[in-house]
A and B are shown apart, each in its own frame.
Chain A
């Protein structure tokens, strides 16, 4: 194979000072190669990501409703949204879901990852599989399972509560419980993935650091606070940013499980965006998506900064 791929006879022995430059001109010049390598990706990326993105940006300054001529309306769509209760309500719902999900998930995932990183724990590969099972199962399937399991009248969860002598709870039908039930679905579905990401950070810490700390008499909790958390800060930051993006873009979960109800209590930012589109109000929908990008970018920058400055 190596013979086939060689462009010609290799002139051994005559190497440059650094020994890192080829003396022969390969069939693909080094200056041209990267362009060829990115070409397939660029073609797809421009056609199906950049072009639609620019189209949406232009759309956000028009009143286009899907047919006919588009009227340029300047910043009207943005102004309308910034003064609109539903828009702020959807952002508020997403923010509340973020509060219910991300802090819990970070703590829980770190705890699980630290335990799974401990060689004394048995059945570690079983746990790694178990925690990842929800992550690999199709969302539409598990969302449906959620609908059935949390059903107010026939659901397994209320069945369990009844056995314990507790009354039925309207998990998906009351404004008080719909958000936490949705948050639970999201936590259950994605925590395994965050555990694996954190585990990768933990495994890059040299074991000798802990041994030195143990010799100095540092307790497990102390080691976690003083060694683990600071050393996996970048991995933690990556997870928080990743999940912030995911929570604020959350769409399929409320779409399948609650359809935004009851009383819009689970209309997330992502779902609200979709509602403009189904109403045919494409200009407003486009403006809404760019406002959402600004929010998400802003939040990401805040977390990056928060988690960096303590170094």
Chain B
């Protein structure tokens, strides 16, 4: 992908109003108290949103018995890595990470190539069968994913794919939402841009790779982050299709641990398992948090670029 297009993209909507607005706006002193109130409201709400995750990250370093005897207290001198140590011994979390990583790379690549390409065809070409096909895509968007699990599982059994990477990668590799979203985005790319490239002799696929992809890059970045999240966080299908210890994805490993608690299978060990669970949950969410914070600008801008406009 080139870093710039030969042709300028559609000009960003300019807001000439912004330059003179400062002179017309009422004096800031009048709006200051209101802004302070909003600021306080946002701050409290943001802290409430961060609190559960922060609590888990911190509690994972507390001795297991303290997590349940004093959930809100924090004894800095007692902090320990015991929960992590025990968790690494009891839980095959390394294998879970590895499996998730393999699926993430292959499935992510398939999604990011196939979804925009198909969406480009839906948005910019007229061909017989297009509307029927796109209508089917929209219907699957409404169908609960659990519905497809049984027939999919039977399909995997018939193919001999249960507990394989294929089973984790291929179903859902190009989901309906990705197509729907990318079509929306590509429809906004001006036709003149594509026609101009055509006049210059670009082939249909060349137009896609050299014009469409660079122009929609912000939305593409958004799709990339969303795809990584979805694959990383996927749980229901991996549990059904590949739950053997060798093939279990990270979330499956995590849920197995969790079911020991909800299923009351731990008895007196409640504290130990809770500690291990918080350590495992922390380690599972930290990579994604890092990816998200590093790429948040792309993700947020991507969604801003790609959503339905008011």
Q: Of residues 12 to 45 in B, which have CB atoms within 8 Å of A's CB atoms?
A: 13, 15, 17-18, 21, 24-26, 28, 31, 34-35, 38-39, 41-42, 45
Is B152 touching A48 in the complex (CB atoms < 8 A)? yes
* Cβ-defined partner of B152 (8 Å) among A21, A52, A145: A52
- By a CB distance below 8 angstroms, the chain A residues around B77 are none
Whether A132 lies near B292 (C-beta < 8 A) is yes
Check: B171 CB closer than 8 A to any chain A CB. Answer: yes
- Say yes or no: is A41 at the interface (Cβ < 8 Å to chain B): yes
B146 to chain A, nearest CB (A): 6
**Are A147 and B46 within 8 A (Cβ)?**
no
Known: A127-B42, A132-B292, A140-B251. A208 touches B17 (CB 8 A): yes
Determine which of A45, A132, A200, A296 lies in contact with B309 in the assembled complex, contact meaning CB atoms within 8 Å: A200
Is B151 touching A52 in the complex (CB atoms < 8 A)?
yes
- Distance in Å from the Cβ of A24 to the closest Cβ of chain B? 6
Closest beta carbon of chain A to B294's beta carbon, Å: 11
Chain B CB within 8 A of A17 CB? no
User: What is the total number of residues of chain A having a CB less than 8 Å from a CB of chain B?
Assistant: 126
B48-73 Cβ-contact flags toward A at 8 Å (1 or 0): 01101101100000000001111110
Provided the pairs A41-B117, A207-B15 are in contact, do residues A234 and B236 lie with their beta carbons within 8 angstroms? no
Given contacts A56-B147, A159-B72, A206-B17, contact A141 B284 (CB under 8 A): yes
Query: Closest Cβ of chain A: how far from B206's Cβ, in Å?
Result: 4
Contact B38 A121 (CB under 8 A): yes
Q: How large is the interface on B (under 10, 10 to 19, 20 to 34, 35 or more residues)?
A: 35 or more
A165 at the interface (CB under 8 A from B): no
Interface residue from A200, A234, A289 paired with B146 (Cβ < 8 Å): A289
- B80 CB-CB contact with A under 8 Å: no
Q: Is the CB of A52 within 8 A of B49?
A: no
Contact B46 A207 (CB under 8 A): no
Q: How far apart are the CA atoms of A40 and B49 in the complex, in Å?
A: 40
When chains A and B are docked, how far (Å) is the Cα of A292 from the Cα of B152? Answer: 19
User: Which of B6, B31, B236 has most chain A Cβ within 10 Å?
Assistant: B236
Q: Is the CB of A37 within 8 A of B208?
A: yes
Contacts of B217 in A (CB 8 A): none
Annotate A192-236 by CB proximity to B: 1 below 8 A, 0 otherwise. 110011011111111110010011000010000000000111110
Of listed B49, B130, B179, residue having the most chain A CB within 10 A? B49
* Cβ distance B69 to chain A, nearest Cβ, rounded Å: 7
Among residues of B, the one whose C-beta sits closest to the C-beta of A149 is B52
Residues on B with beta carbons closer than 8 Å to the beta carbon of A121: 35, 38-39, 42
Residue of B nearest to A274 (CB): B146
A156 in contact with B296 (CB, 8 Å): no
User: Are A245 and B150 in contact (CB-based, < 8 A)?
Assistant: no
A49 is an interface residue with CB less than 8 A from chain B = yes
CB distance from B112 to the nearest CB of A (A): 12
Query: Residue A144 contacts which of B155, B236, B254, B296 (CB distance < 8 angstroms)?
Result: B254
Q: From residue A17, how far is it (CB to closest CB) to chain B in Å?
A: 13
Chain B residues within an 8 Å CB radius of A15: 199
Q: Please name all residues of chain B whose beta carbon is closer than 8 Å to the beta carbon of A249 when the two chains form the complex.
A: 144-146
- B206, A5: Cβ atoms closer than 8 Å: yes
Write out the residue numbers on chain B whose beta carbons fall within 8 Å of the beta carbon of A286: 147, 150
Stretch at the interface among A26-34, A82-90, A99-107: A26-34
Known contacts A45-B174, A53-B143, A142-B53; A277/B201 CB under 8 A? no
In the complex, how many angstroms separate the beta carbon of B45 from the nearest chain A beta carbon?
A: 7
Could you give 23 example pairs across A and B, Cβ below 8 Å? A7-B203, A20-B198, A33-B121, A37-B118, A38-B122, A52-B155, A53-B151, A115-B41, A130-B46, A130-B50, A137-B288, A137-B289, A138-B254, A140-B251, A143-B258, A156-B71, A192-B49, A200-B308, A211-B17, A215-B24, A235-B308, A251-B146, A256-B262
Chain A residues in the interface with B (C-beta under 8 A): 1-2, 5-10, 15, 19-22, 24, 26-28, 30-31, 33-35, 37-38, 40-42, 44-45, 47-53, 55-56, 59, 112, 115-116, 118, 120-122, 125-134, 136-149, 151, 153-156, 159-160, 163, 188, 191-193, 196-197, 199-208, 211, 214-215, 220, 231-235, 238, 245, 248-249, 251-252, 256-257, 259, 270, 273-274, 277, 282, 285-286, 289-290, 292-293, 296-297, 300
Which residues on B are within 8 Å of A, measured CB to CB?
2, 6, 13, 15, 17-18, 21, 24-26, 28, 31, 34-35, 38-39, 41-42, 45-47, 49-50, 52-53, 55-56, 67-72, 110, 113-115, 117-118, 120-122, 125, 127, 130, 133, 136-137, 139-152, 154-155, 170-174, 176, 179, 195, 198-206, 208-210, 229, 232-233, 235-236, 250-251, 254-255, 258, 261-262, 274, 277-278, 280-282, 284-285, 288-289, 292-293, 296-297, 299-300, 303-310
